[in-house]
Chains A and B, each alone.
Chain A
Amino acid sequence: MRNNNMVAMILAGGRGTRLFDLTKKVAKPAVHYGGKYRIIDFPLSNCANSDISVVGVLTQYESVLLNSYVARDHHWGLNSKDGGVFVLPPREKDETGFGLYRGTADAIGQNLDFLDQEEAEYVLILSGDHIYKMNYAKMLNDHIKSKADATIAVLEVPLKEASRFGIMNCDKNDLIIEFEEKPKKPKSNLASMGIYIFTYKTLKKYLLADEKNPDSSHDFGKDIIPNYLNDNRVLKAHRFVGYWKDVGTIDSLWEANMDLLNNQNELNLFDPSWKIYTEDTNTAPQFIGEHAKIKRAYITQGCIVDGLVQDSVLFTDVKVGEDAKVVDTVVMNGAIIGKGAKVTRCIVAENVKIPDHMVIGDANSENIELVTKNTVSKVGVKDV
């Protein structure tokens, strides 16, 4: 059933350069998280749970895996007759030829024909690389009720961190009067989450104009929103309370995983009323062996554990050998921790095999070490 004519558009073209080798072959939204998920599962599941039927996913950087991943829309229950997940990479066009997406606004601007075809009345713009749970239906209600041209989801951040964000200055009715990108002296602590609802008719005009502007960076935050404000359009701030994380760096990706070890964590993936859906991996349940010691860990299907796992998160199909010690570490899909090996404060990348007795990482390190196939071949085996 199509409950409303809001079409979601997920911006999933980002590379995430500060995740180094983790995004060498996959775009950031496809990076694994939380044992069994990929980051893009969060906006996709939020769409499904908010009764959105049509989701476009705009991909660009290293998109082979991401395109085939999101195309299996039944994983999120988005395979209704009227709906679906539609992969929208840049394409060759009759008049303009082949052009990459030049910015977030351009990505949508190049797909106005898709939005026309789906008869969108409202467009929900999402980022494919944020971890959070949110009911977009409530946000749409807010948008309609306040007769806004655009509604922007905002999060209260500590004032001292506000200068890292796009900050919304609002009146007493939460109508946005000013937008400042990374202000040195922030006047408010309401940060934009990069989640927008636009009334499509108006947005279309602005996007068409923006396409023709040679000085534009074709970005929602830098160009479209300021243009709306200049024209005295009604912009509403929709306040969000809860867990929200943009995992841009190895350290923040590690932290976001560690958050799941806290049984009171706000993301609460155990909540049956707002499940996060993901691919179905056909893996066996977890086998916890005779020698296993597990102290505070978050472990998913397909793992075989026979060593110590402490304050760590194990992703699908991880093997931890006998006498191995995995502490304060995120071990990604299919990685193998050899017998007697010791891994501390690391992210072990997908399918990396840590040889028996190798020691890697340091309990007192400032930063989290990313362990890839290259690291493992460079570091020699030390005696324990």
Chain B
Amino acid sequence: MCNALGIVSFGDTNVDVLGMSNYRPVAAINFLGRYRIIDFLLSNMTNSGISNIQVYIKNKPRSLIDHVKESNFNINSKRGKIHVLYGESQITQEIYNHDISSYMSNMEFIERSNKPYVIVAPSHMVYRIDFNDVLNKHIETGNDITLIYTSTDHAKEEFFMADIVNIDSGNRVTSFVKNRGKYKSRNISLECYVMSKRLFIEMVNKAANTSSLYWFKDIIAESCDDLDIRGYQHKGYVACINSLPAYYRASMELRQYQYAKDLFKQDWPIHTKTNDSCPTLYDNGASVSNSIVANGCQIEGTVINSVIGRNVIIKKGAIVENCVILPNAYIGEDTKINTCVVDREAIVHHVKKLQGTLESPIYVKRRDRI
């Protein structure tokens, strides 16, 4: 049982899945057919026994509130709570809309929690972790802050604009720099911090007093010398979904079972909102390979190397290749689409051919008709 308050933060200004985030926060973007991105972090928290969780939203709260409210994250509904919070105070300019201002305006709810520790993590980092292991290590070491990081050999292609964390031989965090894709092998911060609640509140206040433009990560970076910040290496699969190409890349990787099996373990269920869709009908003419398919689909066409969301209809003669199709989309007869991300309820019908590239997959807007 993890004796911590879970805080789901939102990513900084470098986290923006272009197009899709016009309609919802990154946390609520549909992912892998039947999930929203936030499900992975919330499941990590509740599976670790965290039953008091605050989810902070920067803007466009509707879809995330609906999703969190209607999902069953497997916590006691009386003693547990997933609290959806957003900045209550008037924000005149977008640059003032950051995590510190959200925490400041909801400070009473943070103070009210009776948990001695907090675990702060953004939802756009997708991985599977038992937070008990991290918290136990943190308590055992007795340091001020524990930061989870991953070591990657793909820092040139992935984790762009995420934080590289420099760690000395004693496992102490010494500094942060932005990853601009210059180097292959780097340690990347998952922006997940474990500390006492008292220190968290202190840091939030300090950030607010230092600069009204500071994010929480800024005050952490500034405190490397004064505080004992230790790294905790996460060894499993990590996807950092901070842009449309990154979302696309993660989808293409995780449609393959050899990657996905690291996230989907029998004893570590990923909780989400059930939609009560029936199974998928692979009808006459369907040909499907190397793909993830959610329930409720009716497929009569060809699907190769793709992620197909719930209740998607793919008509006769259509060829869907290297695509991510979000729930309730419709792919009409004889359309050929390759390297596209088709948002919810979009209809691809009149355009018979669409071809995107890995660097910039074609994005078809929500409810668009083309």
Contact = CB atoms under 8 A, between A and B. Distances in A.
Is this pair of chains taken from one and the same complex?
Answer: yes
Interface stretch (B10-18, B202-210, B242-250, B283-291): B283-291
A296 B287 CA distance: 9
A276 B296 CA distance: 12
Interface residues of B, number: 34
A277 B276 CA distance: 6
A200 to B, nearest CB: 31
B278 A270 contact: yes
Contact of A298 (B32, B280, B290, B303): B280
Given A36-B295, A270-B298, A282 B271 contact: yes
A133 to B, nearest CB: 12
Nearest to B34: A285
Interface of B: 32-34, 72, 255, 257, 260, 264, 269-271, 274, 276-284, 286-296, 298, 303
Interface of A: 34-36, 74, 260-261, 263, 269-270, 275-278, 280, 282, 284-301, 304, 309, 313
Of B34, B255, B277, B281, most A-chain CB atoms within 10 Å: B281
A269 B278 contact: yes
Contact of A286 (B269, B276, B294): B294
Which interface residue of B32, B284, B288 has the most chain A CB atoms within 10 A? B288
Contact of B278 (A35, A74, A261, A291): A35
Grouping DSSP codes into helix (H, G, I), strand (E, B) and loop, the A interface class, with mixed when no group exceeds half, is loop
A105 B211 CA distance: 76
Top 7 nearest A-B pairs (CB, nearest first) are: A35-B279, A269-B278, A300-B279, A282-B269, A285-B33, A280-B274, A284-B264
A298 B282 contact: yes
A301 B34 contact: yes
A36 B257 contact: no
Most buried by A among B32, B34, B271, B303: B34
A286 B287 CA distance: 14
A275 B291 CA distance: 26
A263 B288 contact: no
B278 A34 contact: yes
B289 A295 contact: no
A299 B279 contact: yes
Contacts of B288: 288, 292, 294
Nearest to B300: A263
Contacts of B303: 288
Given A287-B260, A288-B288, A289-B257, A298 B279 contact: yes
A261 B290 contact: no
A285 B293 contact: yes
Taking each of A36, A74, A276, A294, which has the highest tally of chain B beta carbons within 10 Å of its own beta carbon? A294
Contacts of B276: 275-278
B292 A276 contact: no
B13 to A, nearest CB: 32
Given A285-B294, A287-B292, A296 B274 contact: no
**Interface-centre pick from A263, A288, A299, A304 (highest chain B CB count, 10 A):** A288
Nearest to A317: B266
A297 B282 contact: yes
14 contacts: A36-B278, A263-B281, A282-B270, A284-B32, A285-B32, A286-B280, A286-B293, A288-B290, A288-B303, A294-B287, A294-B288, A299-B279, A299-B282, A300-B280
A100 to B, nearest CB: 35
Nearest to A287: B257
Contacts of A260: 279, 281
A63 B290 CA distance: 41
A74 B72 CA distance: 10
Contacts of A285: 32-34, 292-295
Nearest to B43: A282
